[in-house]
Amino acid sequence: MRSAIEVQVVSKLRSQRIADRIREELSEILLHDISDPRLGGVSITDVAVDRELAYAEIYVSAVEGSQRAETVLAGFDHARGYLRRELAQRVELRTFPRLRFHWDPTPERAENLERLIASLHDAAEEDSIQPKAKGKAPHPDVEDTHA
In a domain, 85, yes or no: yes
DSSP for residue 38 = G
What are the C-alpha distances in Å from 54 to residues 20, 58, 96, 137? 16, 13, 7, 68
C-alpha span between 69 and 37 (Å, rounded)? 13
When mean pLDDT is compared across 20-29, 34-43, 105-114, the lowest value belongs to 105-114
Q: Please report which confidence band the pLDDT of residue 69 belongs to, taking 50, 70 and 90 as the band edges.
A: very high
Give the number of domains in the chain.
1
Q: What is the pLDDT of residue 66?
A: 86
In a domain, 123, yes or no: no
In a domain, 33, yes or no: yes
Percentage of residues of the chain with pLDDT beyond 90: 59
68 compared with 136, residue with greater pLDDT: 68
69 compared with 3, residue with greater pLDDT: 69
Please state whether 83 falls in left (phi above 0), alpha (psi between -120 and 50) or beta: alpha
CATH of the domain at 55: 3.30.300.20
- Mean pLDDT to the nearest integer, 42-64: 95
Q: Phi and psi for 44 in degrees, rounded to 5?
A: -90, 110
- pLDDT(98) > 90: yes
- pLDDT(112) > 80: no
- Domain hosting 63: range is 12-104
- Mean pLDDT to the nearest integer, 109-125: 77
- Mean pLDDT to the nearest integer, 70-81: 97
- pLDDT(5) > 70: no
In a domain, 98, yes or no: yes
